[in-house]
Copies of this chain bind each other. A is one copy, B any other.
Amino acid sequence: MTSSAIREILKITQRPEVISFAGGLPAPELFPIEEIKNAADRVLTDHGPAALQYSTTEGHLPLRNWIAERSRISPDMVQITSGSQQGLDLLGRVLIDPGDVVLVESPTYLGALQAFAPYAPRFVEVATDDDGIVPEALDDQLAGLDAKLLYTIPTFQNPTGRTLPLARREALLEITRRRGVTIIEDGPYNELRFRGGEVETIFELARRDSSPDELNVIMLGTFSKVLAPGLRDAWVQGPRHVIDKLVQAKQAADLHSPTLNQMIITELLDDVLTNQIKIIREAYGQRAAIMIDAVARKLPEGVTCTNPEGGMFCWVTLPDETIDTEPMLAEAVDRNVAYVPGRPFYATGARSNTLRLSYVTSTEEQIRTGIDALGAVIADRLSRGVPARL
């Protein structure tokens, strides 16, 4: 199911009777619809011709200025993209030559694997534990490996929900600088912390003592998770020599992202955005707590689950490595509950006894009902025993 996993799952989740923990969809009832409607009206009234005309490849300057100021960089270090998926694709296009080693977490975001795959890298998994990438293990690995890129989601990772602690971020930066590796830091969930203290991004740590051209960290940010994904507005920020290449690649790929959408988002910066982040953190925090509680009480003994401090996902591991959550999905959907099987999130060496749950698009009652059903599916599976090991 790897290659079209996201797409097929999006289809399953459209069946109304299924309680879906499968999607990576933000909660639509929290979208600031009225504010977006008013912003669209203002933009079209005040700047109609500009909003509807062709525009520059780099993106709408006031939006790039806001992003740049936030990270204390210059706007020529920011490229607007149509979702972070496009940022990943364009980065693959300009940075990856066939056979290049790209280090990834184990597991990692499957959309990134899909975005990079056409450029034929050699994916190598980095050792991880409950706190994410293990720096010492990475350093050892790099001694025998000519790696070009490290792709990581250090904050509320997709799919595990894990967050890399500050000390490890500092260590990662030191190691990659010393070893000549560029970090691609994917940060779609950065704003979605609902408990615990903020941790600085690797980009921010790197920016402090790097010139705009020496920086070895590229960060992706998006408005999909904090405003609305259907607008498809995200960005890549990084060293100028990379952004310059991205501009060329973006021009060949689609000329520019929709002007109207970028202007709508610019209207929502600061006030609406700040308020949205507050609303989303509160709602997701409540839903996460309910799910973590239900998982602890209703999933069979031996099942483990991460306990995220933010973001949209938690990660479940079943007690026997021979269990495969892919065929089990059909049983789950029969009981009207859906998840994403873990396998497609692994670049190599998949652990098939894993699955991803999203807590953000379900009500309290749906979470309880869905986790009950999932508990029954897993218990059934365990009671049937596991295939004999050969």
Complex-state Cα separation, A111 to B251, whole angstroms: 9
> Which of chain A's residues 78-120 have a Cβ closer than 8 Å to chain B?
81-83, 85-86, 89, 93, 111, 114-115, 117-118
Contact A53 B229 (CB under 8 A): yes
Footprint of B on A, CB under 8 Å? 3-4, 6-7, 10-11, 23-26, 28-29, 31, 33, 36-37, 40-41, 44-45, 48-57, 81-83, 85-86, 89, 93, 111, 114-115, 117-118, 224, 228-232, 247-249, 251-261
The interface centre, meaning the residue of A24, A36, A252, A257 with most chain B CB atoms within 10 A of its CB, is A252
Smallest CB–CB gap between A279 and chain B, Å? 15
Complex-state Cα separation, A55 to B24, whole angstroms: 11
Smallest CB–CB gap between A358 and chain B, Å? 12
Complex-state Cα separation, A389 to B53, whole angstroms: 44
Contact B258 A258 (CB under 8 A): yes
New contact pairs (11) apart from A82-B82, A111-B255, CB-CB < 8 Å: A3-B248, A6-B255, A7-B56, A29-B49, A31-B48, A36-B44, A37-B44, A114-B252, A115-B253, A232-B255, A232-B256
Residues of B within 8 A of A37 (CB): 40-41, 44-45, 48
Contact B258 A231 (CB under 8 A): yes
In the complex, what residue of chain B is closest to A42 when comparing beta carbons? B37
Q: With contacts A230-B259, A251-B6, A254-B82 known, is A52 near B40, CB below 8 A? A: no
Residues of B within 8 A of A232 (CB): 254-258
The interface centre, meaning the residue of A6, A48, A83, A93 with most chain B CB atoms within 10 A of its CB, is A48
Contact A54 B25 (CB under 8 A): yes
Smallest CB–CB gap between A33 and chain B, Å? 4
Contact A260 B231 (CB under 8 A): yes
Complex-state Cα separation, A26 to B52, whole angstroms: 10
In the complex, what residue of chain B is closest to A232 when comparing beta carbons? B258
In the complex, what residue of chain B is closest to A14 when comparing beta carbons? B56
Contact A251 B114 (CB under 8 A): yes
In the complex, what residue of chain B is closest to A111 when comparing beta carbons? B255
In the complex, what residue of chain B is closest to A118 when comparing beta carbons? B252
Contact B231 A52 (CB under 8 A): yes
The interface centre, meaning the residue of A26, A224, A258 with most chain B CB atoms within 10 A of its CB, is A258
Complex-state Cα separation, A257 to B254, whole angstroms: 11
Contact B261 A85 (CB under 8 A): no
Smallest CB–CB gap between A91 and chain B, Å? 12
Complex-state Cα separation, A261 to B377, whole angstroms: 41
Contact B44 A252 (CB under 8 A): no
In the complex, what residue of chain B is closest to A54 when comparing beta carbons? B229
In the complex, what residue of chain B is closest to A58 when comparing beta carbons? B7
Complex-state Cα separation, A253 to B93, whole angstroms: 10
Contact B86 A253 (CB under 8 A): yes
Complex-state Cα separation, A305 to B258, whole angstroms: 34
Contact B7 A36 (CB under 8 A): no
Residues of B within 8 A of A255 (CB): 6, 83, 85, 111, 232
Contacting residue for A258 out of B117, B248, B253, B261, CB 8 A: B261
Contact A53 B230 (CB under 8 A): yes
Residues of B within 8 A of A224 (CB): 54
The interface centre, meaning the residue of A26, A45, A51 with most chain B CB atoms within 10 A of its CB, is A51
Contact A86 B254 (CB under 8 A): yes
Residues of B within 8 A of A256 (CB): 232
Residues of B within 8 A of A31 (CB): 48-49, 52-53
Complex-state Cα separation, A387 to B41, whole angstroms: 57
Complex-state Cα separation, A229 to B49, whole angstroms: 10
Residues of B within 8 A of A49 (CB): 28-29, 31, 33
Complex-state Cα separation, A6 to B249, whole angstroms: 13
Residues of B within 8 A of A81 (CB): 254
